[in-house]
Chains A and B, each alone.
Chain A
């Protein structure tokens, strides 16, 4: 077991109870209304703080390694080397996002055991070229994530065909988060 260097630890929530409740609320909101942008301070990091605990395994992409010490310290989560064995995936940018089918997809009996992906991108905006449809979206929602291209959309369609298995995705950018659950269909217009 590697020791934690306290010098590398970032502060956690100012108020652990309210902070994690707010982050959890943001996650709930984001997943139940896919395509809407939900405000949440330090979105990707606070989602991790709120969702991880001693029983969850986390995989960090190379550019997200800096969060390792903080998340180990605050949540007690386990860091794993292989993305396939992780419950949570934290990718620091879209290039480092592992192939979705290589992640934990759950089983037909326990689809909730699949991996949850938290992805940080530079730009995330409503009203782009992506047309989103599915549960939680009244007509259609428009989204713009320039970092994710057609290769991702192909993977996403495959992810959907596996239903009820499949991964759920949080796309974060600074203080905003957008949820893309496995039920959401994405078409590039």
Chain B
């Protein structure tokens, strides 16, 4: 009920609220008004009655007075006979009727009083008449005897007394009434007073209520409004907004909403303002910076040593720095606005959008003289449009002079250093080569040291001069289109010997590509890298050279299994004179410049060169790129086995040198010994035969033109004797190789004098290679047999060991893998059924193994294999136990080994055949 009232009140429209507020006191006022009016009436009536009573009393009194006055006046007349005394009685006669009627009318509502009033009237009449009588008597006009006056007077007096009594009674009654009426007046007055208080109270209460209502309904709400506004202003949280739907409520809501809106706008404005301010600050700062930079730029340009000229898009000069003006022989002012004829070429090109950097050009000065410059010109672009050009140049007269001096210096030094070195090298070489006579072994050792180091010095000088020239650009690269296979072939030619001597295999795989490069320099680089790889590879290992296409480049890689490069040296090794180990230079004979030279060469070709290594002991790979020519078809060769293996031990091979000329013997001796061979000398054919028979050399170098017994005869004799029959002979003679070769039985190779050392060693290699199978087997061949069967394993091991083949035996897959890793055999013989792992797993491991995947594999198993198995095992040779006898196995494997070795040398098959023929059929044809 209350809440309904409250909500009713809350939602009452303001006007109504106002009305209510005003109504309350109004009502109170009305109430009091009405009540006062009522009281007033009553009071008035009461007062009227009081007045009435007074009037009655007074009127009655007046009547009495009139009568008494009249009586007195008559008496007075009677006494005096003065007519003046009659005036009041006249007056009375006049006024009396009216007064009497008045009296009667006054009391007509009160019967008792009315009676009295009538009585009074009567008495008054009587009185008057008596008085009249008296008057007449007095005046003598009366007809009555004078004696009757006393009667008249007594009657009159009686009337008067009676009047007096009646009047007094009337007055007494009237007094009673008056008292009543007066009391009533008092009562009413009291009531009135009480009413005042009540009305006061009502008024007060009403006022309070009205005030309260006013306050709550309006004032407080307005104040609250003010408070809300203040809070909005102060961005404080608002009080709950009045839900009232009246005007004030709506106003409040509207106000709040508006205020909020204003507030948001204000905030936004503030933010914007702040931003603007910040921007302003920024801009100012930027402007300052621009001004500062601009100043600095100007200073820089003015201070720059290079000449800088800027033109607009018509080629007119808009900017010239002092250096430019000075170099061109102008004063800066003279330039402005003029088209720059001096820089015509560069400017025109730049305005066309061409950026140029020309290392040597000539500009003309104002006075017509020319001077060499290096310049760069470029267009100035603004939003993609060319709006001008800028040319920077510098006078390179001095630089050119310096370069010329350097070139002269290099050339001079080159010559000056080389001349004495020639003598040193020459004389040492001759001495050390035994050309001038036999030398003490210790002396020879010393000479060897001297020669080696002289060579090293020469290489060093060459490298230093080379790198100097490359770096300064004087070693002009002459790039041309080259065929990659050709380059590789030449490279391999030059490293073949080194590889052989180091007993390192080279494996080459290359795409058939063409490049535009300086072929000599590319070969130089490859030779260097391969040389390094071979140098640092352990004997028996392989060096891989691969060339593949990678986008528009060719990627060359040289990989070795050497000792690797520590990570922190991978970059620094390309620096001059840095080697991984300080002792390298001495040991390996390097100059320390090789890689630096390679890098310069590659960089000048526009490629990159770098090294990778898994770390010490894990080999290393050197990569470099060269831009490739677009080629229509590229066929990638399979791993071209340009293998240059040295699978057998050349060292310690004994070579018999037979020549009548001692100096030649000496030369050959030293050549061969330097190569690691042991040398036996024979001065004549007879001596040769004898020594060959006893010492059984691995090969014989035979001169043809000898006194007593010539080469042919010697050869015949050698072939005749069983001990010497099989010794390969290399003819070493000035006699040129005969065309008809069919009678050259027993001759492996023919080497001409003067000696081409490479040819000689190649020949020897071939000779030794083919005809020393015992040596091979004794020294280097290794087989790993993987067989779990005890008996079979033992038998096989013994079989091969008997033949001089180093044989290992693994009885499980795991052991096979371990041994395989460690031993790195030349051949695997693998049983497929093993205790721990599947033989196939071992095959897979082999196929996946970096080095061992190319090792020949013979699968010797009892298992019958299907197509799928065979595929898996390919390319292994498969021998099935039970189908083939052990002897056959042995023969097969030995044959395999033989073939392996044979395929690694480029043999001539007809000489092969020749040799096996009966030597007795040989006959010399030359003398």
Same complex: no
Q: Which residues of B line the A interface, CB within 8 A?
A: none
